[in-house]
Structures are given as C-alpha cells and as structure tokens.
Amino acid sequence: RMTSKEVRFDRGTQKFEEQKLTAYEQRKRKRQYAELLTLQAENERRCGEYEQAYTYLNDAEMWIRDQLGTKDLAFIANQHVRALL
C-alpha cells in the first residue's frame, strides 16, 4: 500500500518526524514498484516459466493502469516485456 507520509530521523533534534511526501516522490515510488512488478515477470520469463510470467505481467499491467496510467514509461516497459514473451 502506498502512503503519502514517511517517518524520517532528524539528526538535529534526534527525533523521528513524520513528513508528507511530495507528489513527485509519490509518483517516483509508484514507478519503482511498477518496475519491480515487471522485473518479477521478466525473471520468470527468463527462467522459462511462461505461464507464471504472463500472470505477473497481467497483474502488473492492471496495477500500472490504475496507479500511473497508460502513458507512463512503466506501462511501456511492461508492454515491452510482454512482447518478449
């Protein structure tokens, strides 16, 4: 689950503080997660587990469509791995 806040340690005050993530940081984390999902599918494909790779690609595609949209680079990378399958 993606959150909009993060706990960081402030060395000046020696305390943990909750900070809100910027829209850029949130999108960056979503892209990183999408990359992990696609990488998981690509790994299965390279190991010869084509049915499992197909399942992972479908799950990743649905998540990317919902969270990032079809015009994001993560979606394009997902489709590239699908074409290699």
Burial of 72 (0-12, 13-18, 19+ CB in 10 A): middle
pLDDT at 6: 87
Region for residue 6 given its phi and psi (left: phi exceeds 0; alpha: psi -120 to 50; beta: otherwise): beta
As to burial, measured by CB atoms within 10 angstroms (0-12 exposed, 13-18 middle, 19+ buried), residue 5 is exposed
pLDDT in tens, 35-71: 999 999 999 999 999 999 999 999 999 999 999 999 9
Query: What angle (nearest 5°) sits at the alpha carbon of residue 82, between those of residues 48 and 71?
Result: 155
* pTM exceeding the 0.95 threshold for the entire prediction: no
